Amino acid sequence: MTLRVPLIRVEGKRYSVCPHLTMTPARFAAAAPLECEARDQAARQAEHAFGFQPSLYFFAGIAHPDFGDVVLAYHPEPSTTLDGSSTTFDTGGMHLGLIKGHGLSTPADRKAYLDEDLCALDAWRARASNWIEEHFDSIDVYLEPDGRPNHTDPDDRLGHAENERRAWAVEVRLHGDRGLFDDLAFAVVSQEFLQRALEMSLSTPTDNERLLELLDARRIVQVALPDTDPCEEAVMRIKSYVATQGGMAS
Partner 1 sequence: VSVTRVVAFDGTPVEGGAGMRTAIIEREDGSFVTTGRRQRRLHGDDVRRLIEEGYVTEVALPIDAELPDGIVAYRHRDFVFPGLALYDDAQVWRECGDVEVTYLEADAASSMFERYARAAHLLASAALAKQEFDDANRLARRGLMVTPRLGSSPLAARLYGVLLATASVRGAPGSIRRELGIMLDDVRVLEAVSTAAAALVRAKRTVVDARRIDRPILVGSPEAPREAA
* List of residues contacting partner 1 (CB under 8 A): 12-16, 18, 21, 24-25, 40-42, 65-69, 145, 190-193, 195-196, 198-199, 202, 205, 208-209, 212, 215-216, 222, 224-226, 228-229, 231-232
What is the distance between the alpha carbons of residues 201 and 143, in angstroms, rounded to a whole number?
Answer: 34
CB of 83 to partner 1, least distance (A): 26
Q: Which residues contact 187 (CB under 8 A, 6 or more apart)?
A: 70, 71, 72, 73, 214, 219, 220, 221
What is the distance between the alpha carbons of residues 143 and 136, in angstroms, rounded to a whole number?
Answer: 10
3-state helix, strand, coil in the chain (%, to 5): 40, 15, 45
CB of 70 to partner 1, least distance (A): 9
CB of 119 to partner 1, least distance (A): 26
Instruction: Pick the closer one to partner 1 by CB: 3 or 23.
Output: 23
Specify which residues 56 forms β-bridges with. 174
Instruction: Pick the closer one to partner 1 by CB: 152 or 191.
Output: 191
What is the distance between the alpha carbons of residues 158 and 31, in angstroms, rounded to a whole number?
Answer: 38
CB of 129 to partner 1, least distance (A): 26
CB of 145 to partner 1, least distance (A): 6
**Pick from 183, 232, 247: nearest CA to 62:** 232
CB of 69 to partner 1, least distance (A): 4
CB of 116 to partner 1, least distance (A): 27
Instruction: Pick the closer one to partner 1 by CB: 65 or 176.
Output: 65
* Cα distance from N-terminal residue to C-terminal residue, the chain: 10
Helix (H) or strand (E) holding 77: none
Instruction: Pick the closer one to partner 1 by CB: 82 or 215.
Output: 215
Instruction: Pick the closer one to partner 1 by CB: 120 or 202.
Output: 202
Instruction: Pick the closer one to partner 1 by CB: 45 or 130.
Output: 45
Instruction: Pick the closer one to partner 1 by CB: 129 or 201.
Output: 201
165 three-state secondary structure? helix
19 three-state secondary structure? coil
DSSP secondary structure string for all residues of 111-162: HHHHHHH-EEGGGHHHHHHHHHHHHSS-HHHHHSTT---SS--TT-TTT-TT
